[in-house]
Structures are given as structure tokens and as C-alpha cells.
Structure 1
Amino acid sequence: MNGPEIHIEFAPELGLFVPHARRGRPTQVVTDGASTLGHVVESLGVPLTEVGALVVDGHTVAASHVPAAGETIEVRPVERPQRVPGAPLRFLLDVHLGTLARRLRLLGVDAAYESTDIGDAALAARSAAERRVMLSRDRGLLRRRELWAGAFVYSTRPEEQLRDVLDRFAPELRPWTRCTACNGLLRDATKDEVADQLEHGTRRTYDVFARCLDCGRAYWKGAHHDQLEAIVERALAQGSSPG
């Protein structure tokens, strides 16, 4: 680039995306005089899904703003909780976030998940078609213009991933209402209705069951229930709204 020179300062929360030399102080950037501020920010490594306000010389501007020479720009993080307008809050997770998807479903959050790598274009198209917030650690995917909405998942640890998503979006929680396998809704079921899925010991020991309305999978309070209950209790204690 050989155009106007501007100064950009990234908030500390966005430090993951920018080189160490740019963290915590304004960075001198030479633009081409035609690119939007959104394009410039993304070219420096920060997906716009992670950007809240863009402040130019004390005034908030849109990502479509074309920087002029000498401007000082502050790039702020997304405010939390982040509100997603125009649709019920629903998520789409890529192939690398299966555990997070299952934990969101455990909490009753609508979380679609692609168990195979269908490619960035197909994921972005599904996000737009179904009006789902795309959750991913793939920065390239989050930069795709056809996305309806997106968010970077900052941690590689499922416990921290879940805590971050709940903190960022504050979804309504309705634990034990969704199938962790397919995201379908659960309803109460009799033992006879799910008998074909039960081993003899389970039939003898348990009497309360639920079944997925979509895939038919049966659920009961089995050997791992205490572990799942602990996940639910931590999520509710975090302060998100129970259903």
C-alpha cells in the first residue's frame, strides 16, 4: 500500500489476533486510500465478528468507513452480552467443536453441528440460510461475507469454550430438553416406548425416560448423569437465564 497513513489501536481483548508489537499501543498503518476500515482491520488479522465499536478520532464509525490520512482509530471488542437481532438465538458449530455442541445441547441451546468437514463456503451458506451464529476457531471462515453472524471460539478446552459462549451470548438455558446427538427436542417417554433401546439391567433399574422427537434416541439418568448434572449446575450458576 502507498496511500494515507493512519494509526490503529486494538483493545487488549483482541491481542490474540495481532502481533505482539501491535498490542497495547497505536500502530502506524499505510492504507491504499480506497479500502474500507473493516477491510483494513481484517487485513491486520482481526475478524470483524470480534470487533465491537470502531472509533475514529472520538467518533464511532461503520466498518464501511474509508480511513483518511492522519486518523487515529480505536478497535474495541464486542460488548457482552452480545445481542443478535432479528432471529431466535441459534448456533452452528464446525467439525472441530463437537464437544461444545453437545454441551450446549445439554443446556437446551439450539446448536447445529457439522460432524464432517463440508468446507467454509457450505458452512457460511448454512449460517445465512438458517440464521445461525457460526462458532469456529477458523479465522478464514469467520471472514466470509456470506455469514449471517459469527464468533471466534478462543479456547481449545471445552469447559472454557462453554463458559465463553455463555458469557458472550447469555442464551436462555433449558437443560435436559434437547438431544445431545442430533439437537432435536426431547419428550417424556414410557419404558415400553424405548424398550428396544434398553439392556436388561437398564430396564430393571430405571423407570423415567425421554426420547428425541427427531432421531428417536432414548435418555435416562444413567451412570454419567452426575457428570452431566455438574456441567448444568455450573452453567446455571454462571448467571445465564434458566428456561
Structure 2
Amino acid sequence: MNDTALARHLAATAGSLLLTLQHSGLFSAKALGKAGDRVANAFLMEALAAQRPDDAVLCEEEKDNAARLSASRVWIIDPLDGTREYGEARSDWAVHVALAVDGAPATGAVALPALGLTLTSEPGHIIPPAGARPRMLVSRTRPAAEALAVAQALGAELVPMGSAGAKAMAVLRGEADIYLHSGGQYEWDNCAPAAVALAAGLHASRIDGTALTYNNADPYLPDLLICRKEDAGRILALL
């Protein structure tokens, strides 16, 4: 199984496990989120150890191992992106599985289990055409000031949504045109979404226009822009 197929299989299977847990009716919303993090993380770590034992892993739910810094191939995992949304039984949560090779987001998969979808960095994805008015994705609970300012300058409609993966995939699916975030993220929040977006021909970068790089000593990666390539120059100029 190649890396992209493995990423898809891992993300989709973790998503299926999370749905089973969610539908069990055994947990309160807060407890469900914590249980989901643990269950999805345990599966992904065991599966990666079995399938890619020589690769390093950076995962939100695992203690960081500095040995990854000397590795060329590093899997960057968020077992449950959008824990709050998952606990509330919303649809805007995701599973992120990505592989960074020499710091670049080489392959990735983002599962949207509640929608029955898994999007990957396989080539051939067609982005639906843009509408007359741009639509910008922002956080449900804490929309960034920069995003609000750019949205006002562009006359964009704001689309609140939960998980970073759900927001990024909404651009691929034609539900929105711009995902601009400056409120703080980590590598596991955006590596898989960036890999999928770049493979689909979208623009993905830091908000100063520099490339997204991964497997850094400090995994804090606070800002992100995903949009149609033809819109990137104007948005970056506004920032």
C-alpha cells in the first residue's frame, strides 16, 4: 500500500471507530471528546507502528520525541480535529493523517466521518467554480481579527465552521473560497489539510506568503491561508 492509500485507510478507519463510539450513547459530550481522542490515537499509533515502523511520528496526543527531527519521513497526525464539534455530534470534525518528507507536506488524508467523506492528496480533484461573492471560513468561536478585516475588504460572506480540516476541505468541496487563520495552530492541525489542498491545485501558505514547513523543533504553526490560486495575491496583499 503506498503512502497516500495508507493515509486514506488510516483516516477513514479512525473515523469509523469514532462514529461507532459517538453512536454508542455511553458518554456525555465532554467525556465523548476525551474518549474519542484516546481511541483514535491508539488505533493510529498502533497501525503506523505496524505499517511504517521505520518512520517517525508527530501526534497531538503523544509525547513529542526529538528523534523525529533527524528523520526524513514523519507522519503528522491529529486523531480528532474538532473535539468540541465531535462531542456535540456536529458534522464539522475530522481526522488528519499526513506524511511530511524533508519538511514538505508530501501526502495527506482528511476524513470527514460524519459526512462519509475522505479527501486525499491523490491527483485529479476538481474544485467547483467560485460563486459571485467570495465566502470566507472562520472559527465558530474565535474568528481571527485578520480574517475579519480581509473579509470586509473583499466583501466576503463569513462562514463559521469548526475543525481546521473541515474548513480546508470546504474549499475543496466548493462550499467556500478562502480559509484564513491566524489565531494559533500546530503542525497536526494543518499538515494533512495543506497536503490535500496543494495536491488539488489550491494555494496553501503562511499568511505572509511563505511556504508551510513541517517537522520543526517547535510544532507551533500559528497561521494558514488556503484559497484558490487566482485569489492568493490579492489576499496576501491585504494581509
TM more than 0.5: no
Task: Choose between structure 1 and 2 for higher RCO, CA contacts under 8 A separated by at least 6 residues.
Answer: 2
TM-score after normalising by structure 1: 0.30
Which structure's residues are more often helix, by fraction?
2
